[in-house]
Amino acid sequence: MLEKEDFKKIGEVVKEKISSVEKNIRGEISSVEKNLRGEISSVKKNLRGEISSVEKNLEKKIEKEIGGLAMMTKKGFDEVDEKFEKIDERFDKVDERFDNLEQGHEEIKLNLNQVAYRFELVELEKRVEKLELKLGLRTS
């Protein structure tokens, strides 16, 4: 049978074993933590590299798209400029035609200023007829 002393010794051996196991577990945990820190650091570096690469690719794509949009915008403005040039040419022709019409109108006005009106001619004919009758140049 086991005595009290034996139980004490068994208890001390168990405590030592538990202490030894705890120490080993702590060491293992510490080792795992170190390994995890290293892995996490490595993953962070890889992610930073990937993120940087993705950012550069996105920047290139964005610049390319902006360049494309700039070209399309320029092309659109160039087309509008061409249309405005054609419109300007047409307005120049219209202005020429209006100038010609105005000149023709002025000429007509000048000619009309030199022409007697019909009612004046009729009145003058009557007067000349009376004078010719009085002078005997005409017989009724």
Between 2 and 83, whose confidence is greater? 83
Mean pLDDT of 21-37: 93
What are the pLDDT digits (tens) for 95-137? 999 999 999 898 888 887 777 778 888 898 999 999 988 888 8
Spatial separation of the C-alpha atoms in residues 52 and 47, rounded to whole Å: 8
What are the pLDDT digits (tens) for 44-86? 999 999 999 999 999 999 999 999 999 999 999 999 999 999 9
Q: Can you point out the beta strands (E) in the chain?
A: none
Q: What are phi and psi of 115, to 5 degrees?
A: -105, 140
- Per-residue confidence (pLDDT) for residue 140, from 0 to 100: 65
The identity of residue 38, as a single letter, is G
Residue 90 has pLDDT above 80, yes or no: yes
Query: pTM of the prediction?
Result: 0.45
